[in-house]
Amino acid sequence: MIVGDYPRTPSMRRLLGELNGIMDSKELEDFIKANRVRLIALEDAYLMARYFTSEYSREDAEDMSN
């Protein structure tokens, strides 16, 4: 085991940041930077779906998954 534990969080940005801290990957760092807005939107969608009622259009969902 490299780090011993992992953060229990719905934040994909934090998890990817932790992974990048271990891997020190320029490619992963570029991915995080290029997809920052989408990652934030996915985190928000997860939290809203889990704790509140919210609707998303098909276009929103497709944009978040690309």
**Residues 9-61 pLDDT 10s:** 878 899 999 899 999 999 999 999 999 999 998 888 888 888 887 777 888 88
At residue 2, does pLDDT exceed 70? no
pTM of the model: 0.66
Q: Specify the pLDDT at position 17.
A: 92
Which is more confident, 7 or 43? 43
Burial 2-23 (b: 16+ CB within 10 A, else e): eeeeeeeeeebeeebeeebeee
Q: Please give the pLDDT value at position 6.
A: 67
